[in-house]
Structures are given as structure tokens and as C-alpha cells.
Structure 1
Amino acid sequence: MEQTYGYIRVSSVDQNEIRQRIALEQQAIPPDRIFMDKMSGKDFHRPQYQAMLKKLRPGDLLCITSIDRLGRNYEEILEQWRVLTREKRVDILVLDMPLLDTRRDKNLLGTFIADLVLQVLSFVAQNERENIRNRQAEGIAAAKQRGVRFGHEPRPLPPNFPETYVLWTEGVISTSEAAKRSGMARSTFRTRAESFKKDCP
């Protein structure tokens, strides 16, 4: 007997878990057949997705809310679609794009239309992600040009740092000794010394 499954993927910054779950429950999918992975954008290890793949049988239906739940990029989405529809021989329903319902029009034309729509949507999804990353990078670069600092403010230099810095630059004390007197690691001392040099008139 064919079963219907649902898959949810959310990242650490994605707040759509509840929306996705409600949408899948509206398809009358029982909770024990809804699989969910939580992960960051960089880590795409998906244990629940793999567990779901093992349960899927030919003729089953997989529901997802949007096409980008299947992968991080254009190539991965197309690969997972191929695995599901051709290797696993399951149907897929993409809730926010009714054209992507492999139960409809199973003739050659229907398959062609579904594949064409899938490729266009996958490309658009990846292109939008890349545009977002580019806008973020441009925003950070513009902020840095305006003097905006990112990350934690560095700790204030110890009162004896100028004296220690002079002794170190003149070779009177070693880097290890200078770092010890400044209460910091050698690598930190070198970094702070470089910044101190730039700030000195």
C-alpha cells in the first residue's frame, strides 16, 4: 500500500519549521511519517532525509513545501529529484508549485513539462541565494569602509604595553618575554603590536 511522507528542512536561521509542518499536516500526513533535519547552510549532513529514503517504496508520495528543501544548489536539487523519481520511483508533490506534482500527466509531455519547470525553479532558487550572499558581502564591505567594526572589541592594552613594545622592537626582550609581560599569547602580542605600530603617529 502506497504511503505519503513529508520532509522538512530548516537551518539555524530559518523560522519556517512550523509553517512547513502545518502545510504537511494539511495533506493528512501523520507525524510519524514527517521527517525533519535542522542544520546550518554549511553543514548539509541530513540523517533524517537518509532515514526517509530507506523507508520510501515505489508508488509512495513525498510532499515538500518548496523545491529548495531537496538541496543546497541547482545540481543537488536535480540529483535528488532524479534519485527520488527514477531510482526510488516515488512521486513528488511540491506544495508551493502545483506544476511539480509527478502524479499528474505521466505521459512524455507531462514529464517534459515537470522536468523543465524543475530546472527553471532550481536555477532561480540557487541564483537568489547567490544574490543574497553577494548583497551581504557588499553590505559588509560598505560598512567596513564607513569604519564599522565587526566582532568583539579588542581588550584594552595593558599600561606597560608601550614600554614593552619599544623594548621588543629594539631587540632587548624576546617575543615570548614581551607577550608574558603583556599578559597575552605570542601570536596575540604580534597582532596587537602590528596594530599599535599603525596607530602610532
Structure 2
Amino acid sequence: MSNIYGYIRVSTKDQNEARQFTKMIDKGVEARKIFVDKLSGKDFNRPQYQLLKKVISEGDLLYIDALDRLGRNYDSVITEWKNITRDIRADIVILENETLFDSRKFKEMGDMGKLMEDQFLSLLSYVADQERKKIRKRQAEGIAAARSQGRHLGRPRIDLSTLSANELVILESNYPRWINKEITAVEFMGLLQLKKNTFYKVVKEYEKRLN
């Protein structure tokens, strides 16, 4: 008996997979057959995706919300697509555009369908590569423009002057506790939600103000 699976990927642990999960459930996928990775799409070394590849078999159907949820390197995406649909002989449906991305339709056309699928995937790879080049060009132009205007690039600088009123209260109320070793530096950093280097920089500025 064939199975229906769902694969979900979000780029970070902070992103919510609920929207994709709901779409899978609406398609009749059982919750226990939905595989979720919270990782970048740069490659396929993702634990849940690799587990999915071990259990999916001939005749099964795999739903994915959008093609970039499968991966962002489109040459690798094409390789994975062909591996699942031709080697494993399962099917893939991309929910974002079911009209174009449904491997079952190509299989129904026989050898002609395989040829059309190859051409379609090759075109997809070309378009994706051109889009990546445009994005890199826009990013480079944006960085150059920002530098020419003397703007700071990267994450915003955090120091004592940029702390919010609430953060200052946390700093002032817990600094004596830290000095008296009632709380550890790690605990103090957690209260302020600061990384180690930034924490010590802020504390040093605060101590200068006290003096």
C-alpha cells in the first residue's frame, strides 16, 4: 500500500512551520508522516530529509509546500527530484504550483513526459541561476552604495547607550548580584540577552559610568 508523506523546511529555529504543516494535513497527510527540518536549504545534509529518503518507496507520494523548501541549490534540487521520481519511483507534488510541479503528470506521458520533464527542470535550473546572479549583483551594489555613504554594515552596534530602559533596569538591578557572585556571568548575559563580548563591553561602560 502506498503512503503519502509531507516534507517541511524552515530556515531557522525561530521560523514557524505551522502554515506548511496545516497545508499538509489538509492534503490528507498524517501528522506522523510529515518530516520537518529547521535548517538552511543550501544542501541536503538534513536529518529529517535523510530519514524521509530512507522510508519513501515506489508508489508513494510526497507533498512539499514550495520548491525552495526542498532546497535552494537548484542543480541539487533537480538531482534529488530525479532520484525520488525515477530511482525510487515515488512522486512529488509542489503545493505552491501543482499545475507545473506534479511528477505524476510527466509519468503519464511516458517517454515524451520524461523528455519534457528534463527540459522543464533544465529551464528551471537556468532561471534560478540567473535569479541568484541578479540577487548577488543587487547585494554587491547595495553594499557599495552603503560604504560610499559611510553607513555601518552588518548587525547594529550594541553598547550601553543603545540599551532600552528595561534593559538598563535589568543591568542596574543585577550588577550588584553579579559582583557579589549571587548570579553567574552566563546567567547575567541571559537576563540581558547579550553575547559574551557585547556583555563585557556593556558592563565595562557601565562601570566607567559608576566611577
Relative to the length of structure 1, the TM-score reads: 0.66
Q: Which residue of 2 aligns with 1:100?
A: 101
The aligned counterpart of 2:67 is: 67
Q: State the SS of the aligned residue for 2:7.
A: strand
**Aligned residue runs from structure 1 range 160-175, under 5 A:** none
Q: Flag the 1:122–1:26 CA change in 2: closer, same or farther, 3 A.
A: farther
SS for the counterpart of 1:63 is: strand
Amino acid across the alignment from 2:148: Q
Correspondence 1:122 to 2:122: no
| Mapping of residues 146-157 of structure 1, within 5 Å | 146-150=149-153, 151=155, 153=157
1:99-144 CA deviation, whole Å, 9 max, x = no partner?
2212222412222223322222233234323422331222122111
Alpha carbons of structure 1 residues 75 and 24: separation in structure 2 relative to 1, 3 Å: same
Match of 1:6 in 2: 6
Give the aligned residue type for 2:127: V
Structure 2 counterpart of 1:47:
47
Aligned residue for 2:83? 83
Q: Which runs of 5+ in 1 are unaligned?
A: 156-201
Alignment partner, residue 203 of structure 2: none
Q: Which runs of 5+ in 2 are unaligned?
A: 160-211
Structure having the higher Rg? 1
Q: TM-score, normalised by structure 2?
A: 0.64
What SS is found at the alignment partner of 2:104? coil
What is the percentage of aligned positions where both structures have the same residue? 46
Task: Note the alpha carbon deviations across 1:52-104, whole angstroms, 9 max, x for none.
Answer: 01110111011112222222222101110121112211111122232221222
Partner of 1:136: 139
Which has the larger helix fraction?
2
Alignment-mate amino acid for residue 50 of structure 1: Q
Amino acid at match of 2:92: I
- 3-state DSSP class of the match of 1:9? strand
Aligned-residue Cα RMSD (Å) equals 2.6
**CA drift at 1:146:** 0.2
